[in-house]
């Protein structure tokens, strides 16, 4: 049984607490189907989130099977299912793939046969079997609602919470969803609570909870709704609510509560006696309910039938971190390759950016002229001295520019890699985290996916440009060091932007901040114009582009370093110092990403 005792949820408004949920008390027995209705802004979704644990109650207590959820235990991830208003499936996947992904992420599977049997049962149970191979993006609103339910049923939750799953549907689709929820509540003692704004099909619910300004105005059988509110039709309930304050409705309800709860109890006993409702009181009854289900729907595999019985009495186990990681990584690559726009953009960047660098490579291939061993001040030697200085300036400027061009373009690639990576799927991740996905497994899958992009982009940039602009002196060690710094600048910007994406609320905010970050890399690096010393000392530690540029320059021979030094007032740092700083930038980005993933970003 789910029980709420004087539950409140408050927010701060103008420095004062404001109760969005105010002293809500109710009881919802096992195998019960309850609707939460009320005018817009009355607290329906807020109450549902409070029950789910997404909102922490500011006062009162919630009990599940006589255990205080705040003090004694919390819901196990497999024990509760939450279907939000938004879609929790990726458009690029099919219905079957979406359910398979949800199953692999939330249920510890023994073998492929176990996985297939579970998916097939859920498809049949939710009426999606004929749509298994259809992409999510082409599903209708009602079909997406069914898919959301299916993805929550993979764990066989004992408590299923649904938030506006019928919103925006046509009358027929709405009735189909309500009927499906009604059927789900009759199986294995599952409790189903559905938030809805609609007052249609109320006869399918066991009880109706009417909220008004965060308070309980009514909780009883659907048949008693019109009588209680003294109206002839349910559509008149909302106007009737507005005629008096919520305090009066709450006071009125407290006087009539026991009478209506008595009606609910009698109706419940009738359903149990008629066999229409099987509510297990212990594991034996649970197993008996499961046996009845397998008897009415025979399975060819006896082991599969026994598995249904076992599942009905036990909570499924959550997979380990590595299992979740591999599932998330495989899903991310599948989504990537099915997003043609993203694939085309990555290929275009991969091809065009190195070509842009190569266009400016000719001047960087010139050899630096050297002074004669003896200088006697003759006209010829003066002219030679002038040519050497011009050579220093020309080659130094070209080499410095080519390196910085590579660094800035790879910074832009890094920003493009990850600016929307987490923020763009924020709600789906929050839902999956609620269902038991570990943030470290999710972050690990992002690091593995983005790490592959980083290596491909950086190595291709270094190797392609090397065909047109030979790294100065042709030193293999110097080229390898340069390549390492290209990888590091891409990784630093990728993971810093991943951290931004994890901390921001929306993909638009994350993209904008990431673009600004890349835009400041060139002017604040000091590679073009030296910064004032006061500003330089403050900004330099945070500019990844400077450390990648400086590290590459330090890898060159002294003659090239001197030539570059002649065209810039910005000092170089040792390659070891640059390596350490870029590694710190990467670490900061990963830490920020993890912190953002751990934070609550549901709203």
Query: Does 442 fall in a domain?
Result: yes
* Alpha carbon distance 228, 261 (integer Å): 13
Per the structure block, which two tokens stand in for 602?
A: 């549901």
Q: Are 205 and 33 in contact (CB under 8 A)?
A: yes
Write out the H or E segment, with its range, that includes residue 444.
helix 439-466
Residue finishing a domain among 123, 156, 189: 156
Task: Specify if 189 maps to a domain.
Answer: no
Please tell me the total count of domains within the chain.
2
With respect to residue 191, please indicate whether it lies within any of the assigned structural domains: no
- The string over 12-28, giving b where at least 16 C-beta atoms fall within 10 Å of a residue's C-beta and e elsewhere, is eeeeeeebbbbbbbbbb
pLDDT value at residue 366: 57
Q: Which of 312, 298, 306 has its CA nearest to residue 124?
A: 298
Output Rg (C-alpha) for the chain, integer angstroms.
32
Tell whether 51 is covered by a domain: no
pTM: 0.86
Contacts 24+ apart (CB under 8 A), 364-368: 364/395, 364/398, 364/399, 364/401, 364/402, 364/469, 365/469, 365/470, 366/391, 366/394, 366/395, 366/398, 367/391, 367/395, 368/392, 368/395, 368/559, 368/560, 368/563
CA nearest 34: which of 23, 43, 26, 22?
26
Q: How many other C-beta atoms lie within 10 A of the C-beta of residue 114? A: 16
- Mean pLDDT, consecutive 10-residue stretches, the chain (603 aa), reads 92 84 92 92 92 90 89 85 89 96 93 90 91 94 90 92 87 88 84 90 92 93 91 90 91 90 88 75 45 47 48 74 96 96 94 88 58 49 54 70 89 94 93 93 97 96 87 70 94 96 93 90 69 72 89 82 71 87 96 94 71
Which letter does DSSP use for residue 94 in this model? B
**Interatomic CA distance for residues 271 and 343, integer angstroms:** 56
The pLDDT, as a whole number, for residue 298 is 47
Phi, psi of 270 (to 5 degrees): -60, -40
414 falls within a domain: yes
> Which pLDDT value is given to residue 301?
52
Which residues form the domain of 91?
80-156
Of 132, 156, 180, the one marking the end of a domain is 156
Structure tokens at 63: 């009990």
Sequence-separated (6 or more) residues with CB below 8 Å from residue 170: 142
CA distances for 117 relative to 124, 129, 552, angstroms? 11, 13, 56
Structure confidence at residue 433 (pLDDT)? 93
For residue 485, tell me if it sits in a domain: yes
pLDDT at residue 306, as a whole number: 47
Mapped onto helix, strand or coil, the DSSP state of residue 92 is coil
Residue 402 resides in a domain = yes
Residue ending a domain, choose from 105, 139, 156: 156
* Residue 37, in any domain of the structure: no
Nearest to 413 by CA among 461, 449, 484: 461
């Amino acid at each position: 049984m789910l029980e709420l005792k004087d539950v409140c949820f408050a927010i701060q408004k103008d420095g004062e607490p404001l109760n969005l949920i105010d002293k809500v008390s109710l009881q919802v027995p096992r195998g019960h189907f309850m609707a939460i209705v009320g005018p817009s802004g009355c607290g329906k979704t807020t109450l549902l989130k409070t029950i789910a644990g997404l909102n922490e109650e500011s006062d009162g207590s919630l009990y599940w099977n006589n255990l205080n959820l705040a003090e004694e235990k919390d819901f196990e991830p497999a024990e509760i299912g939450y279907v939000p208003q938004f879609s929790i499936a990726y458009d690029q996947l099919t219905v079957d793939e979406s359910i398979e992904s949800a199953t692999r992420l939330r249920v510890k599977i023994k073998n492929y046969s176990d996985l297939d049997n579970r998916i097939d049962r859920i498809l049949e149970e939710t009426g999606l079997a004929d749509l298994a191979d259809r992409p999510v993006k082409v599903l209708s609103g009602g079909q997406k609602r069914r898919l959301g339910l299916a993805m929550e049923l993979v764990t066989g939750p004992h408590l299923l919470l649904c938030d506006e799953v019928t919103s925006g549907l046509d009358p027929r689709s709405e009735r189909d969803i309500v009927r499906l929820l009604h059927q789900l509540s009759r199986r294995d003692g599952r409790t189903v609570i559905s938030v809805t704004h609609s007052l249609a099909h109320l006869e399918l619910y066991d009880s109706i909870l009417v909220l008004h300004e965060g308070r309980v105005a009514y909780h009883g059988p659907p048949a008693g709704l019109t009588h209680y509110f003294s109206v002839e039709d349910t559509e008149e309930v909302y106007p009737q609510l507005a005629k008096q304050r919520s305090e009066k409705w709450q006071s009125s309800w407290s006087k009539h509560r026991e009478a209506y709860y008595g009606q609910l109890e009698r109706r419940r006993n009738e359903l149990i006696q008629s066999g229409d409702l099987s509510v297990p009181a212990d594991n034996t009854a649970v197993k008996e309910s499961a046996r009845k289900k397998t008897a009415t729907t025979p399975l060819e595999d006896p082991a599969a039938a026994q598995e249904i019985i076992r599942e009905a009495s036990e909570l499924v186990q959550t997979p380990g971190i590595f299992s979740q990681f591999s599932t998330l990584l495989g899903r991310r690559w599948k989504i990537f390759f099915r997003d043609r726009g993203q694939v085309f953009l990555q290929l275009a960047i991969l091809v065009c950016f190195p070509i842009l660098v190569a266009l400016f490579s000719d001047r960087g291939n010139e050899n630096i002229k050297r002074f004669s061993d003896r200088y006697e001040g003759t006209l010829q030697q003066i002219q030679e001295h002038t040519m050497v200085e011009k050579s220093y300036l020309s080659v130094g400027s070209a080499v410095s520019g080519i390196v910085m061009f590579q660094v800035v373009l790879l910074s832009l690639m890094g920003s493009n890699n990850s600016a929307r990576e987490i923020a763009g799927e924020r709600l789906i991740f929050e839902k999956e985290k609620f269902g038991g996905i570990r943030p470290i497994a999710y972050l690990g899958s992002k690091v593995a996916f983005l790490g592959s992009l980083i290596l491909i982009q950086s190595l291709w940039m270094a190797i392609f440009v090397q065909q047109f602009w030979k790294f100065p002196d042709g030193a293999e060690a110097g080229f390898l060091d340069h390549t390492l710094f290209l990888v590091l600048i891409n990784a630093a910007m990728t993971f810093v932007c991943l951290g931004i994406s994890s901390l921001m609320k929306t993909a638009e905010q994350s993209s904008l901040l990431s673009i600004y970050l890349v835009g400041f890399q060139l002017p604040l690096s000091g590679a073009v114009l030296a910064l004032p010393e006061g500003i330089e000392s403050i900004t330099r530690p945070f500019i990844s582009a400077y450390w990648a540029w400086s590290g590459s320059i330090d890898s060159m021979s002294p003659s090239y370093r001197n030539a570059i030094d002649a065209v810039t007032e910005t000092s170089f740092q040792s390659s070891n110092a640059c390596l350490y700083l870029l590694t710190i930038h990467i670490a900061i980005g990963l830490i920020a990403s993890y912190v953002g993933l751990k934070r609550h970003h549901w709203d």
